[in-house]
Structure formats: structure tokens, C-alpha cells
Chain A
Amino acid sequence: DGGITQSPKYLFRKEGQNVTLSCEQNLNHDAMYWYRQDPGQGLRLIYYSQIVNDFQKGDIAEGYSVSREKKESFPLTVTSAQKNPTAFYLCASSTSGRFGGELFFGEGSRLTVL
């Protein structure tokens, strides 16, 4: 089945540690995105990539980093510089970088900082 796979589903981190969230898609989509979901705040865009080896900051990129070395993969690193990293993280993809198309989401990764 085609889709987006995020791992791990749950992750606990101590303060001061970096953590990397995995996102893999087999939909052959060009564009991939990372969103952060907090209660009452909707979905906020962290980073997006419209093509391999290129990515742009979203609205809340501070404290996060990404890479796009392969079309299928778009990992997100939550660094120790992120002040409030506890959240639900969602990866998505679309057929093109134009946001007028459908976004396909993974099932998310819930990060808790202890």
C-alpha cells in the first residue's frame, strides 16, 4: 500500500538531547512537509521541500532542522534549541509544491520531553 510512514510513533527525550523523526513516502510525491500540532493551535508548518536537495523554512523553523537527500525521505531533527518541543509532529507529502493539491499525512509522531 502506498502511503507515508512516520517513526517512531512515540518518543521520549530528555532536555538537551537532539532527536530525529523519520518520514518515508512511497507515493512518488515531489513535495514533503513537516507540521507541528498543538491543542487549539491547528497545524503549523515547520519546513517543506519541493524537490530533492532543497527545502524552505516554514512558520516555526527555529530549533528544527531537516534534510532531503532522497525523494522518499524527509527526516526532521528536533534540536536542543527548540524551547518547547513536546508536541505531535505530522509529516505530509503532495504531488507538487503547489499547495492547491491534496496533502497526504502520516500517522504522526508524539514527542514528549521529560
Chain B
Amino acid sequence: QQQVKQSPQSLIVQKGGISIINCAYENTAFDYFPWYQQFPGKGPALLIAIRPDVSEKKEGRFTISFNKSAKQFSLHIMDSQPGDSATYFCAASMIQGAQKLVFGQGTRLTINP
């Protein structure tokens, strides 16, 4: 019930292409869905986050799409650049009750020049 399943485990995209990473959750009480970006040898950093009252949130080239009925959310990176090569983690939590953040398994993204 507390799991967040992330796919794919690894992804290779050509420069300028669209990178898409998907996550699915089971607990319908989750109400906060962030994405974290991690470069090699560094700690993760918050990239973008969404609440379930909206279906999409865009920040620059990064967009979260959220499908509440399907219990799925995805990260889209438009015009992918080599500098986007990193590991991406989706996560979910319940703000009410301060339930802990549950992370997906991570996706290693490589953008080929």
C-alpha cells in the first residue's frame, strides 16, 4: 500500500528528445508528489512537485503529469540536454498526518549528445 513503483530503471534519450519517467502508487491518501534529481556523487535535490488538485505542473522544460484516477504520475523532460543526465526519483507522501516520504526505485537517465 505504501509502495511507489517507478519505471523504467534506465533510459537513454538523444539530445533534443523527450524523456518520460513514470510512477504508480497504491495509497489513495497520498497528496504530495515530488521529483528529485541526483547527479553522481551528490545528494538528491528537489526538481518539481505536484499536489493532486491539478493534473499538470510545468517548470521550464520539466513537466509533471498527474492522473488521479489511474494513480499514476510522470515526469516529462522536453528538449533533453546532456546536462539532464542524472538519476531521477519520484516520491509520494501524505501531508495530513505527516506521513513519511516514500521513494520510487529511481531512473538513471542518459542523454546522448
Chain A interface (Cβ within 8 Å of chain B)? 4, 40-45, 48, 50, 58, 90, 92, 97-100, 102-108
- Is the Cβ of A99 less than 8 Å from the Cβ of B89? no
- Partner among B31, B89, B94 whose Cβ is within 8 Å of the Cβ of A43: B89
11 contacts across the A-B interface (CB closer than 8 A): A4-B43, A40-B9, A42-B103, A42-B104, A43-B44, A50-B98, A92-B43, A99-B101, A103-B101, A108-B41, A108-B43
| Alpha-carbon distance between A15 and B8 when the two chains are bound, in angstroms | 35
| Alpha-carbon distance between A17 and B82 when the two chains are bound, in angstroms | 41
Chain B interface (Cβ within 8 Å of chain A)? 6, 9, 31-32, 34, 36, 41-46, 49, 89, 93-95, 98-101, 103-106
| Alpha-carbon distance between A99 and B102 when the two chains are bound, in angstroms | 10
| Alpha-carbon distance between A106 and B45 when the two chains are bound, in angstroms | 9
Binding site of B, secondary structure by majority: helix, strand, loop or mixed? loop
- Is the Cβ of B95 less than 8 Å from the Cβ of A58? no
| Alpha-carbon distance between A53 and B100 when the two chains are bound, in angstroms | 19
* Chain A residue, CB-CB nearest to B106: A42
- Is the Cβ of A99 less than 8 Å from the Cβ of B105? no
Q: A41-B105, A99-B95, A100-B95 are in contact. Are A108 and B100 (CB under 8 A)?
A: no
- Is the Cβ of B43 less than 8 Å from the Cβ of A48? no
| Alpha-carbon distance between A50 and B100 when the two chains are bound, in angstroms | 12
- Is the Cβ of A90 less than 8 Å from the Cβ of B44? yes
Q: Name which of A41, A90, A103 has the most chain B CB atoms within 10 A of its CB.
A: A103
- Is the Cβ of A98 less than 8 Å from the Cβ of B46? no
| Alpha-carbon distance between A94 and B93 when the two chains are bound, in angstroms | 14
- Is the Cβ of B106 less than 8 Å from the Cβ of A40? yes
| Alpha-carbon distance between A104 and B31 when the two chains are bound, in angstroms | 20
Q: Which 6 A-B pairs have the closest CB atoms?
A: A105-B43, A100-B95, A99-B93, A42-B103, A43-B103, A100-B32
